[in-house]
Structure 1
Amino acid sequence: MEDRLPKRFPVKAHKPSWKEKLRENCFRRIKEDRTRLLWKMRLPVESSVNKKEIMESAFRDIVSEELRKIKDPSLDGDMEISTCAVDNDTLWEYDGVHTSSQSTEGECEKIMLELERTFYEDLGEETTIRELEEYDGSWEDKEDEYLARAVLEHLQVGDGQVCQEIWCPICKQGELRENHHIIYCTLCELQLNRDKEVNLDILRDRLAEAHTEHLDRGCKLTPKFRMETRFDITALYMHCQACKMFEIIM
């Protein structure tokens, strides 16, 4: 009778390495968070903190979060496994995940450095912090600083109340405001008709989306904005001479 029963091969006999799983998860996170990480690099920082430290902290956070998910699968929102319905000896485990903290820290440090190196290599001409700092002059004005922060808020849903100020993308000095009829700049000629589908919140999102798309092209220069009338329709346009991007904002 027993000879007819299929042999059972315990899952524990084929446990994958936690290091391999951690590395795989971290590289997946880097791909998913690439745009957010790039905008972190664009943000102005205090003199006491440099951009390299900010990026190292971001990579370290990713490794720490993914390690916690491996040690405690209940922290991973993508996993929907009921431990009550699974036999104890068939639970998914990772070989060596509960080794000494010193060994774990060493492996995490290696993965973090590999993530950092690969991330900068993938950026091509934008790899080094020094190159990014050389282009800080293109991002010094308040409008660009605000848009960088607006993009991060746009990408991170639920991170809190969005800043209410929107600096004019044309003159970079006036503030954008709205009334029942128009959206306008307090200092220059920017003026857009307002209706149910066009308001200040939508304009903020469109500016953030346009800057995100421009950054994804790999261009490091700040695009220019202007009001233009074409086919009897006046709209706000974004144009970059370097990468030739031309976008209707609203």
Structure 2
Amino acid sequence: MDSTRPRRVPNKSCRPDWREELRTNCMKRVKNDRVHLLWKIRTQGRLPAKDMKTVESAVRNIISDEVQKLKQCVDGKEAQEIDVIWEYQGPQEARPAEFESEDILLEMERLLYEDLREETIRKEIEDLEEQDAYLAQAIFDHMQLSEEGAENAKLWCPVCKQGELRETNNLIRCSLCKLRLDLGEDKRMQITAQVLLTGHVWVECTLHTMRRMQHF
């Protein structure tokens, strides 16, 4: 035989290390599946950053799936070594040979946890913006009512609660009962009338605003 002819290397020997292949496949799955995971968590109404069980469950589901795929492509000895990763229960319970797989799990959990934390922050910002918009609209409505209500709102009599207060020629009177306030030159009466009128308008407008806010 021609000794100069290059030897043919078996296809199996060209196969990359199964540990690196598993890492690559798992990392790719995490990056591809995290959008779906975030959507699933949001629809369940959870707080992602506080639910590490969800992260751990997602990581183990991905590893389980990729382990089964990889075991179909390796020999029996490598398949047994791969099973060690799936039996891994964390650094406190791991056997010495299992620590080499810890970095894979931690890296996957870190990627998912960072995404979930960012999702939580983004959702909190959205909630704050929604609250700010609600308060801004409520303040705007109140100001509008205060301006328009001062001219158009009816002022109900504080005595009979049914008549309307009217002011003419320094005289405040009720349209139904016998309430009469003759302002004249008495400063105290003028102050009382001013408080009655302005305060009554403010109360009426405030109550109206609160009723409107309940329907938002």
TM-score tier, shorter chain, comes to: 0.3 to 0.5
Q: Based on CA coordinates, which of the two structures has the bigger radius of gyration?
A: 2
> Which has the larger strand fraction?
1
**Greater fraction of residues in helix:** 2
